[in-house]
Amino acid sequence: MTTDSSADPQSLPSRAADAIEQASDTRALDVTARLGFAALALVHVLIGAIALRLAFGGNGEAEPTGALEEVAEGQFGTPILWVCAVGCAGLALWQLSEATLRARHLPTGKRIGKHISSGSLVLIYGSMAGTFARFALGDGPDSSESTVDFTRSLLTSNFGVVLVFVAAGVVLGIGVHFVVKGIRRTFRPELRKFEDTHRGRVIEVFGVVGHVAKGCALLLVGSLFVIAGLDRNPQESTGLDGSLKALQYHPMGVYVLTAIAVGLICYGIFAVIRSIFGRM
3-state SS record for the chain:
CCCCHHHCCCHHHHHHHHHHHHHHCCHHHHHHHHHHHHHHHHHHHHHHHHHHHHHCCCCCCCCHHHHHHHHHCCCCHHHHHHHHHHHHHHHHHHHHHHHHHHHHHCCHHHHHHHHHHHHHHHHHHHHHHHHHHHHHCCCCCCHHHHHHHHHHHHHCCCCHHHHHHHHHHHHHHHHHHHHHHHHHCCCHHHHHHHCCCHHHHHHHHHHHHHHHHHHHHHHHHHHHHHHHHHHCCHHHCCHHHHHHHHHHHCCCHHHHHHHHHHHHHHHHHHHHHHHHHCCC
**Angle, helices 143-155/239-246, rounded to nearest 10 degrees:** 100
CB atoms within 10 A of CB 31: 13
pLDDT value at residue 22: 54
What's the rounded Cα separation, in Å, for the pair 171 and 169?
Answer: 6
What's the rounded Cα separation, in Å, for the pair 100 and 94?
Answer: 10
CB 38 within 8 A of CB 275: yes
Closest by Cα among 80, 77, 48 to 64: 48
CB 228 within 8 A of CB 222: no
What's the rounded Cα separation, in Å, for the pair 55 and 58?
Answer: 7
Residue-by-residue pLDDT tens, the chain, 280 positions: 444 444 444 454 554 445 444 545 577 888 888 999 999 999 999 999 999 999 888 888 888 888 898 898 888 889 999 999 999 999 888 888 877 766 556 566 666 766 677 777 888 889 889 989 999 998 876 665 667 777 778 788 777 788 888 888 888 988 898 999 999 998 888 777 787 788 888 999 999 999 999 999 999 988 888 888 888 877 777 778 888 888 888 888 889 999 999 999 999 999 999 888 887 6
pLDDT value at residue 147: 75
